[in-house]
Amino acid sequence: MRFARVGEAGRERPVVLDEAGKAYDISGLTADIDGAFLAGDGPARAAAELSAGSLTEVPLDGVRYGPPVARPGKIVCIGLNYSDHAAETGSPTPGEPILFMKAPNVMVGPDDTVLIPRRSEKTDYEVELAIIIGKETSYLDSPEDADAVIAGYAIADDVSEREFQAERGGTWDKGKSCATFLPLGPWLVTPDEVGDPQNLALRTRVNGGIRQDGNTKNMIFGVRHLVWYISQFMVLEPGDVIPTGTPAGVGFGNNDFPFLTAGDVVELEIDRLGRQRHTLAQA
């Protein structure tokens, strides 16, 4: 199934989409697509109501998509999780997943404007498969247990300011948590519709030119391993978001791609998860 939140920022309406792509209002079942909805029987109730034909259709023409999950408790990101990306940045292949955090309030809709921070000269893009957690969990016994706690997947752009991240000392977080630095969506797609999360093509275009063209099969640490690994260090809660790393082709790599400037248009897509298209503007 595909779930989305549509409408103006701060007033999004929760919807479920059918196989034809038509959206139906589920605000009678839940106030929002949030942790409580995902952890309870919300998705099953939405599926039953959709099957019964009892939901009201919501026209999508010209409608804004918000992030497909309401503000999460935390966003736990993975760094250097594709060997080609590690190589292009001159970094060694990690022996364990590299974890860093993004502030939850940086999350925006998939087509919302992305702001270049003041005094930034190195704002960058990163297409990533994002995991959305559906059940509270900690200390999973094995990676195989991860499937039971994953609510679904979405496209994420892990926007980064590379000078703030790598040249200003301390942790990466200050180059990752600038306003609007996580466009997410358009949909939360449930695992049954995604299929194998380790066989999804990811692509990024900037102003129409291809920059990234990778596949999740090339992750160093796969989806199940990441959820298991993170659960050894922190409690994962319903609605938490885990962007899983990016393939080669970023501006920060050893290539000739420039960093982003105001007016640039970034388009991202992942198989079965839809597309994003956002324009850069100066903060």
What's the pLDDT score for residue 90? 85
Sign of CA dihedral 229, 234, 237, 243: negative
pTM over 0.95: yes
What's the pLDDT score for residue 252? 86
**Domain boundary assignment for the chain:** 2-58, 75-282
What's the pLDDT score for residue 280? 98
What's the pLDDT score for residue 171? 81
What's the pLDDT score for residue 86? 85
Alpha carbons within 13 angstroms on the beta-carbon side of residue 192 total 5
101, containing H or E segment:
strand 98-102
What's the pLDDT score for residue 250? 93
Asked if 278 and 265 count as a contact pair (C-beta separation under 8 A), the reply is: yes
CB-based contacts of 88, cutoff 8 Å, min separation 6: 248, 249, 250, 252, 253, 254, 255
What's the pLDDT score for residue 237? 98
Calpha distance 18→25 (Å, rounded): 11
Low-confidence ranges of the chain (pLDDT < 70): none
Q: What architecture does CATH give domain 75-282? A: Alpha-Beta Complex (3.90)
Q: Please name the residue that has the structure tokens 């695992």.
A: 191
What's the pLDDT score for residue 244? 98
Asked if 13 and 65 count as a contact pair (C-beta separation under 8 A), the reply is: no
Nearest partner of 131 among 10, 229, 40, 205, judged by Cα = 229
What's the pLDDT score for residue 256? 80
What's the pLDDT score for residue 148? 97
Radius of gyration for the chain, computed over Cα atoms and rounded to the nearest angstrom: 18
What's the pLDDT score for residue 75? 98
